[in-house]
């Protein structure tokens, strides 16, 4: 006897579920310039690789004979597939079914995705739209009671931050629990003009006397400048490409090591512009990103958090094919001085590097922490100490080039001083407890005031001290390990990447709370 009738029934139910919210809701999604969740999954994963879980899960209605009348899909599509041949777990919100709210959610589907990623050590990609399975005021009426807030499974979401690469794509209006799931990631993306993120949306905030549009409340510029989201792109296709590229630098989990990529660039390549890129006039700025792109494998720099904590540039790259966590001062913003948000950006970046055992390179031009009343109000020193702690907790291989300034406590935060780190200085390097500019007048006030020509006396003292703070004097005492020709920097970085590759041990054990 054949089981074909049951298979026919399974196929019928799967076809009902694939309608999602129905033709009208799908059309509304498309009219809003957004893809459906199934279209998103198809574009993100390798063709034909998606294996769905819960393909017939949803809300069913039956007639008086207990025969199925209709089946409305749950508003979460989950499963596994591959991206560039590597297995991943994927979960996606279906906004066409009750706007992603709790009324149409089977929470076990997203929970299974998180557990699968954790226990099988696979990257997870979350496609988030709506409240991400969060609450709705209608839930009170449909359930006949108010729920006591408590997010089941968020312990696994938290555990995954220390276990597997987590990518989150906010592809619409994201609020409440959806916003939390978007933020609880290593890399997050919004789409300009389509995405918004907030703890509570405009209708709720309007009750506070703040009538704001979605863009005004939680548009991409607000969230990127706040550091809540890493990147904003113009289209959903670009969001998928960004997710794929981020994962290309990552290992499968914190218990594996990121593989070496193609070796496409000459490790001995030299660029003559590096000899003169740093101005002799310390008041002048320069383009640090052009230096980064000169040193890393061509076209490999993948910047993260570009609009947040802008005095430090962070991103992933390849050096001689090896994945590297690259950090560099940006003198175009506060002269490279660390602000409170810069410190928070550095802390998060260090955590990612340490979690996934990715070696760190730092091009330093830091005059210290930002000073002044607003800096003090921001709690810059507290955030700075946390960044320094993260740096000193790093056990991954580390290489620093001091390209210009290294002053004060923030300047000192350029490596873990308890571990061996390769450190070089360019001839343009200058360092000390604080810059001479402004400090001479305070330290030598009596001598300057007593001089018949204060300006000449100031110039005399400055010339004397500048000779004493020459990088060569520090090298004599081995306070700086090596001064190098800037044009040799790529070769030295390639040597570092190859030295670091075999000592990037992954985590020794695997643990997850039940």
**DSSP one-letter string for 235-254:** SHHHHHHHHHHHHHTS-SST
Q: How far apart are CA 477 and CA 462, in angstroms?
A: 22
Query: Does 285 share its domain with 239?
Result: no
The average confidence (pLDDT) of the chain is: 90
Helical segments of 189-274, H only: 202-206, 214-218, 220-226, 236-248
pLDDT per residue as tens digits for the range 5-49: 999 999 999 999 999 989 999 999 999 999 999 999 999 999 999
> Counting Cβ atoms within 10 Å, is residue 243 exposed (0-12), middle (13-18) or buried (19+)?
buried
Q: How far apart are CA 493 and CA 471, in angstroms?
A: 21
Query: Does 84 share its domain with 22?
Result: yes
pLDDT per residue as tens digits for the range 322-363: 999 999 999 999 999 999 999 999 999 999 999 999 999 999
Spatial neighbors of 181 by CB under 8 A, at least 6 apart, are: 126, 128, 132, 157, 168
Domain containing 134 equals: 4-248
pLDDT band at 509 (very low <50, low <70, confident <90, very high): very low
Query: Does 231 share its domain with 117?
Result: yes
List the beta bridge partners of residue 169.
127, 189
pLDDT band at 151 (very low <50, low <70, confident <90, very high): low
pLDDT at 504: 86
pLDDT at 448: 82
Phi-psi region of 408 (alpha: psi -120 to 50; beta: other; left: phi over 0): left
Query: Does 26 share its domain with 77?
Result: yes
List the beta bridge partners of residue 302.
316
Task: Strands of 282-411 (E only): list them.
Answer: 302-304, 312-319, 322-329, 360-366, 398-407
Query: Does 237 share its domain with 380?
Result: no
pLDDT at 510: 41
**CA 434 to chain CA mean position, Å:** 32
pLDDT band at 143 (very low <50, low <70, confident <90, very high): low
Examine the pLDDT at 144 and tell me if it is beyond 70: no
pLDDT band at 132 (very low <50, low <70, confident <90, very high): low
Residue 405 lies in a domain: yes
Using the 3D structure, point to which of 180, 215, 248 is the last residue of a domain: 248
Residue 265 lies in a domain: no
Query: Does 106 share its domain with 139?
Result: yes
Phi then psi dihedrals of residue 510, to 5 deg: -115, 135
* Tokens of residue 284, six digits: 């002048």
**Cβ atoms of 123 and 161 closer than 8 Å:** no
Residue 445 lies in a domain: no
Residue 441 lies in a domain: no
Phi-psi region of 345 (alpha: psi -120 to 50; beta: other; left: phi over 0): alpha
Split into its structural domains, the chain has a count of 2
Neighbours of 392 (CB within 10 A): 15
Average pLDDT over residues 84-110: 84
pLDDT at 465: 76
- Pick the residue with more confidence: 437 or 189? 189
Q: How far apart are CA 215 and CA 196, in angstroms?
A: 6
- Does residue 212 sit in helix, strand or coil? coil
Q: How far apart are CA 331 and CA 428, in angstroms?
A: 14
pLDDT at 18: 92
pLDDT at 221: 94
pLDDT per residue as tens digits for the range 433-456: 766 666 677 778 888 888 888 888
**Cβ atoms of 384 and 410 closer than 8 Å:** yes
Query: Hey, what's the torsion of the CAs at 233, 237, 240, 241, to 10 degrees?
Result: -80
Q: How far apart are CA 410 and CA 425, in angstroms?
A: 17
CATH of the domain at 389: 3.90.226.10
* Tokens of residue 126, six digits: 């979350």
Examine the pLDDT at 233 and tell me if it is beyond 50: yes
Query: Does 208 share its domain with 282?
Result: no
- Pick the residue with more confidence: 157 or 150? 157
- Pick the residue with more confidence: 395 or 102? 395
Longest dimension (CA), the chain: 113
pLDDT at 479: 85
**Cβ atoms of 511 and 454 closer than 8 Å:** no
Average pLDDT over residues 110-114: 93
Query: Does 170 share its domain with 303?
Result: no
Q: How far apart are CA 482 and CA 376, in angstroms?
A: 35
């113009």: which residue's tokens? 234
Least confident interval from 62-71, 155-164, 400-409, 459-468:
459-468
Average pLDDT over residues 363-373: 94
pLDDT band at 100 (very low <50, low <70, confident <90, very high): low
Examine the pLDDT at 178 and tell me if it is beyond 60: yes
pLDDT band at 470 (very low <50, low <70, confident <90, very high): confident
pLDDT band at 147 (very low <50, low <70, confident <90, very high): low
Residue 447 lies in a domain: no
Residue % of the chain over a pLDDT of 90:
70
Residue 259 lies in a domain: no
Query: Does 331 share its domain with 420?
Result: yes
pLDDT per residue as tens digits for the range 276-295: 999 999 899 999 999 999 99
**Cβ atoms of 40 and 171 closer than 8 Å:** yes
């Amino acid at each position: 006897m054949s089981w074909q009738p049951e298979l026919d029934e399974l196929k019928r139910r799967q076809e009902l579920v694939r309608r999602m919210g129905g033709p009208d809701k799908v059309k509304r999604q498309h009219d809003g310039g957004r893809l459906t969740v199934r279209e998103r999954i198809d574009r993100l994963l390798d063709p034909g690789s998606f294996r769905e879980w819960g393909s017939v899960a949803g809300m069913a209605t039956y007639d008086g004979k207990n025969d199925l009348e209709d089946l409305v899909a749950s508003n979460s599509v989950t499963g596994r597939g591959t991206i560039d041949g590597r297995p991943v777990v994927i979960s996606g919100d279906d906004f066409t079914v009750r706007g992603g709210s709790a009324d149409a959610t089977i929470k076990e589907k997203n929970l299974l995705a998180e557990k699968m990623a954790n226990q099988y050590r696979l990257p997870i990609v979350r496609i988030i739209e709506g409240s991400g399975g969060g609450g709705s005021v209608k839930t009170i009426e449909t359930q006949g009671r108010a729920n006591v807030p408590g997010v089941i499974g968020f312990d696994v979401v938290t555990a995954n931050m220390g276990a597997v690469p987590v990518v989150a794509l906010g592809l619409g209006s994201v609020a409440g629990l959806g916003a939390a799931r978007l933020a609880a990631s290593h890399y997050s993306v919004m789409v300009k003009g389509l995405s918004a993120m907030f703890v509570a949306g405009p209708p709720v905030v309007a009750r506070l006397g703040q009538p704001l549009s979605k863009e005004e409340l939680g548009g991409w510029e607000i969230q990127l400048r706040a550091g809540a989201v890493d990147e904003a792109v113009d289209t959903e296709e670009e969001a998928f490409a960004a997710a794929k590229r981020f994962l290309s630098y990552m290992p499968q989990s914190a218990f594996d090591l990121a593989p070496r990529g193609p070796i496409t660039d000459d490790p001995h390549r030299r660029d003559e512009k590096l000899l003169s890129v740093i101005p002799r006039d310390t008041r002048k700025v320069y383009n640090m990103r052009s230096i980064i792109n000169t040193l890393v494998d061509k076209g490999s720099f993948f910047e993260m958090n570009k609009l947040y904590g802008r005095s430090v540039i962070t991103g992933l790259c390849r050096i001689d094919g090896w994945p590297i966590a690259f950090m560099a001062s940006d003198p175009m913003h506060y002269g490279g001085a660390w602000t409170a948000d810069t410190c928070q950006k550095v802390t998060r970046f260090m955590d990612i590097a340490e979690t996934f055992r990715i070696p760190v390179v730092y091009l330093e031009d830091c005059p210290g922490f930002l000073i002044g009343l607003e800096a003090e109000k921001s709690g810059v020193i507290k955030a700075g100490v946390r960044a320094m702690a993260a740096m000193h907790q790093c056990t991954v291989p580390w290489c620093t080039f001091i390209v210009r300034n290294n002053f004060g406590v923030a300047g000192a935060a350029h490596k873990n001083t308890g571990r061996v780190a390769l450190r070089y200085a360019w001839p343009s390097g200058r360092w000390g407890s604080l810059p001479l500019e402004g400090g001479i007048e305070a330290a030598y006030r009596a001598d300057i005031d007593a001089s018949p020509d204060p300006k000449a006396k100031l110039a005399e003292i400055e010339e004397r001290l500048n000779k004493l703070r020459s990088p060569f004097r520090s090298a004599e005492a081995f306070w700086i390990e090596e001064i190098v020709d800037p044009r040799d920097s790529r070769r030295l970085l390639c040597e570092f990447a190859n030295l670091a590759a075999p000592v990037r041990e992954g985590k020794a054990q695997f643990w997850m709370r039940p």
